[in-house]
Amino acid sequence: MSDLPSLWERGNQCLHAQKPAEAVCFLTEIISVAPDDLYARMTLGLALGDAGHPGAAIQILGLLAERLVHQGYLLPAIAVIKHGLSRSPDEPRLVQLLHHLHIRGVRAKAGQLAVPPPLKVNRQPVQGATAASLLAMPLSDRLAQCARIGCELPPAGAAAMPQPMPLFCELDAQAFVETVKRLQYRRVPHGVKLLEEGAPGDSMMIIVSGHVSISKGQAVLCQIGPGAVLGEMALITHAPRTATATAATVVEYFELGREEVAQLSQYQPKVLQELVDYCRRRLLLNLLRTSPLFAQFDEESRSRLLEKFQTVSFSSGEEIIAQGNPGTGLFVMATGKAQVQIENEVGQTVVVGEINPGEVFGEISLLHNKPTTASVIAEGMVGALVLPVLEFRQVLHHYPQIHLYLQTLSADRLKASRDAVEDSGLVDPDDVVVL
């Protein structure tokens, strides 16, 4: 009985020592014993290419990607193709597979996907081999035998409906291919932090396989799996990470950084626009789930209401609302947080509150038709939605429940601001905070 951990250890030692012609022997024995180990098969294909058999590498990677697409695993299929393109950026078969994969993802999302024909089956199965027997062969015979075994996949089974392919389905075919070429593939063991709360953010991630635990402070919020997107708002708002993401299993993921997005946008401008639109939709969906403002509406009303909001971002220290000015709109905090500050008669600044994601602000000055008596200052990078004044008036007319909600919120905030002012002792208690 083969010892798989030992085979992996020997194979990895050979790969790290840049001896791919020896590594293929151990990898071939692994898939002889565990034919469903897709990662081992992919690694074998890459090692064969590095050992001087590029045709076998493309053949194995192509068959593996086709199998994954057939099984509905589009993101793992992209990972396989991405590895092949890293060796041969314009390989026609792999590029064609990407186009085919993209079509299936788009059609599946639209509910227009037909059942594909069965995959071809090799009627003469190839016998497996041991590393020892392969190492004893002449190099050309060894590589040929490893290639034959690598191309012999287990029976395919019925085709499956594709799993979600976030963001990629929003791009056209050419923009999708160019984006895939610039993705960074990562594979990390259990316990590795993908994102850390408070750290600067300059990339987004898409989970390919495995599960990731999301936590904030000491509290674990949830666990996410394949198809989940992480950190995308950092590309748009430059905001620090708002939570920590830790690998709960072995995790494969793609990473797309701000630099890669900038390169893409130079000759594929729609990539940047689609990314911005995608992030905005995600932002809105998060707010639908978390902000009390939208909780009282059905899904159709929420969508109509959200279309009236604009997306805005602010740098650390930037004024979102300026004390003494007329209200500019109704704001909903999306990412980051902000301080509510007032300046008293002797020029001292008093912090009287904090605004966190999901919270509404700016409503009091609009409802009472008064200038604001406090400033809202971004505390770090901030992303928000704003409903401009004219649209705000229209919304109050068409959605009376918003008017009632904001009036109640306004009354609560005015009382809280009076209490804060009285406690500070630095300004007149009659000078309530109006935002």
Give the C-alpha separation, 95 to 330, whole Å: 47
Report CA-CA distances (Å) from 184 to 109, 251, 357, 366, 397.
25, 14, 30, 47, 49
Residues 6+ apart with CB under 8 A from 333: 355, 356, 357, 358, 359, 360, 361, 382, 384
Same fold, 182-281 and 302-424: yes
pLDDT tens digit string along 130-171?
A: 999 999 999 999 999 999 999 999 888 787 888 778 778 878
Instruction: Tell me what the mean pLDDT of segment 331-350 comes to.
Output: 83
CA angle, 376 as apex, 374 and 377 as ends, to 5°? 130
> In 3D, which of 422, 414, 425, 319 has the Cα closest to residue 370?
414
pLDDT tens digit string along 230-248?
A: 887 777 667 778 789 999 9
Domain 182-281 has CATH 3.30.750.24: no
Question: Residue 324: is its pLDDT beyond 70?
Answer: yes
Instruction: Note the pLDDT of residue 430.
Output: 40
- When the pLDDT of each residue in the chain is averaged and rounded to a whole number, the result is 83
User: Helix, strand, or coil here: 172?
Assistant: coil
**Of 409 and 42, which is predicted with more confidence?**
42
- Cβ 435 vs Cβ 374: under 8 Å: yes
Domain 302-424 has CATH 2.60.120.10: yes
Instruction: Note the pLDDT of residue 290.
Output: 65
Helices (H), 307-373: 363-368
Q: pLDDT band for 427, please (50, 70, 90 cuts).
A: very low
pLDDT tens digit string along 72-120?
A: 899 999 999 999 998 888 899 999 999 988 888 888 776 666 655 565 6
Classify the phi-psi angles of 87: left when phi > 0, otherwise alpha if psi is within -120 to 50, otherwise beta: alpha
Q: What is the DSSP letter of 434?
A: -
* 398, two tokens: 């068409």
Q: pLDDT band for 213, please (50, 70, 90 cuts).
A: very high
Instruction: Tell me what the mean pLDDT of segment 388-416 comes to.
Output: 75
Q: Which residue has the tokens 């897709």?
A: 38
Question: Residue 406: is its pLDDT beyond 90?
Answer: no
Give the C-alpha separation, 8 to 238, whole Å: 40
DSSP letters, 284-308, are HHHHHHH-HHHHTS-HHHHHHHHTT
Burial per residue of 301-340, b for 16 or more beta-carbon CB atoms within 10 angstroms, e otherwise:
ebeebbeebebebbeeeeebbebeeebbbbbbbbbbbbbb
Give the C-alpha separation, 244 to 259, whole Å: 23
Give the C-alpha separation, 142 to 20, whole Å: 12
Return the number of other C-beta atoms located less than 10 Å from residue 216's C-beta. Answer: 11
Whether pTM exceeds 0.75:
no
Give the C-alpha separation, 231 to 412, whole Å: 34
Question: Residue 310: is its pLDDT beyond 70?
Answer: yes
pLDDT tens digit string along 382-401?
A: 888 898 988 888 888 887 87
Q: pLDDT band for 278, please (50, 70, 90 cuts).
A: confident
Give the C-alpha separation, 197 to 220, whole Å: 12
Q: pLDDT band for 333, please (50, 70, 90 cuts).
A: confident
Q: Where are the domains of the chain?
A: 4-165, 182-281, 302-424
Q: pLDDT band for 9, please (50, 70, 90 cuts).
A: very high
Give the C-alpha separation, 234 to 277, whole Å: 14
Helix axis angle for 269-290 and 173-182, nearest 10°, is 80
Task: State percent of the chain over pLDDT 70.
Answer: 86
